[in-house]
Amino acid sequence: MDKKQRILLENEILLDLWQQSKAGDSGAFCQLADKLYRTLFNYATSFTNDREYIKDAIQELMLHIWEKRQTINIQFVTIYFLKSLRNQILQEFRRNKHIYPYLDLDEIEEITDNHTIESEIEETEHYHESQRKVRNAINELPKRQKEAIFLKFYEGLENEQIADLMQVNRQSVANLLFKAITTLKSQIPLLSNWLLIIYMLIY
């Protein structure tokens, strides 16, 4: 199965749920929300660390889409929801700069030391210690690079789709990804060691 087919098939299942939702089946809509929830939540962590805020934002998005379902036409379900969530969150940030000053996207680009507090227990264990480093490496990426990494590797989207979502051109996406991967690769000697160990443990 080639790439396009695979995406289309996945989308078909979601589209099916969406059509049922559109016809007024709230159960199908909840199933759809359930399928998309993890992706949406994790995507939103590219913008803010406030988990309760993210939950509220997704609820709001879902209710809004449900209310407007008659007028919404969707081709690619996941992309539509990701895009809507992104717009909603960024719009709210712009409106409430005084409430979310730390979320200002331009500022965030410059912050590189993103502190992740980890428990000491984790530190003592080799597995978790390594995991922490990987997580830190990704967390320390500038927000837009992190967002691109999410869309590319978590969601498996193509550069064109990422460009559409992030509202930049394809070249910018390629640049963001290149920078991010270069940064991560510079950590790879470190990463590959522990990863190899994990790999042997798991497989």
Q: Phi-psi bin for 167: left (phi > 0), alpha (psi -120 to 50), beta?
A: left
Give the pair of three-digit tokens for residue 192. Answer: 């590959």
Tell me the C-alpha distance between 71 and 188, whole Å: 47
Task: Give the count of residues interacting with other proteins (CB under 8 A).
Answer: 50
Tell me the C-alpha distance between 46 and 149, whole Å: 10
Tell me the C-alpha distance between 8 and 14, whole Å: 10
The closest of 14, 55, 13, 18 to 38, measured between CA atoms, is: 55
Site string for other proteins, 172-201 (x = CB under 8 A): ---------x--x---x--xx--xx-xx--
Q: Which residue in 12, 16, 34, 109 binds other proteins (CB under 8 A)?
A: 34
**Given the rule CB under 8 A, which of 54-62, 70-78, 104-112, 163-171 is the region that contacts other proteins?**
54-62
Give the pair of three-digit tokens for residue 196. Answer: 């190899």
Q: 93 with 86: CB under 8 angstroms?
A: no
Site string for other proteins, 147-176 (x = CB under 8 A): --xx-xxx-x--------------------
**Given the rule CB under 8 A, which of 11-19, 75-83, 104-112, 135-143 is the region that contacts other proteins?**
135-143
**Given the rule CB under 8 A, which of 11-19, 26-34, 71-79, 100-108 is the region that contacts other proteins?**
26-34
Of residues 52 and 110, the one with the C-beta less far from other proteins: 52
Q: Does 131 bind other proteins (CB under 8 A)?
A: yes
The closest of 70, 94, 90 to 82, measured between CA atoms, is: 90
Of residues 15 and 198, the one with the C-beta less far from other proteins: 198
Q: Which residue in 137, 163, 173, 176 binds other proteins (CB under 8 A)?
A: 137
CB burial class (10 A; 0-12, 13-18, 19+) of residue 161?
buried
Tell me the C-alpha distance between 37 and 78, whole Å: 10
The residues of the shown chain that bind other proteins, judged by CB under 8 A, are 1-3, 6-7, 26-27, 29-30, 33-34, 37-38, 41-42, 45, 51-52, 55-56, 58-60, 62-63, 66-67, 96, 99, 131, 134-135, 137-139, 149-150, 152-154, 156, 181, 184, 188, 191-192, 195-196, 198-199
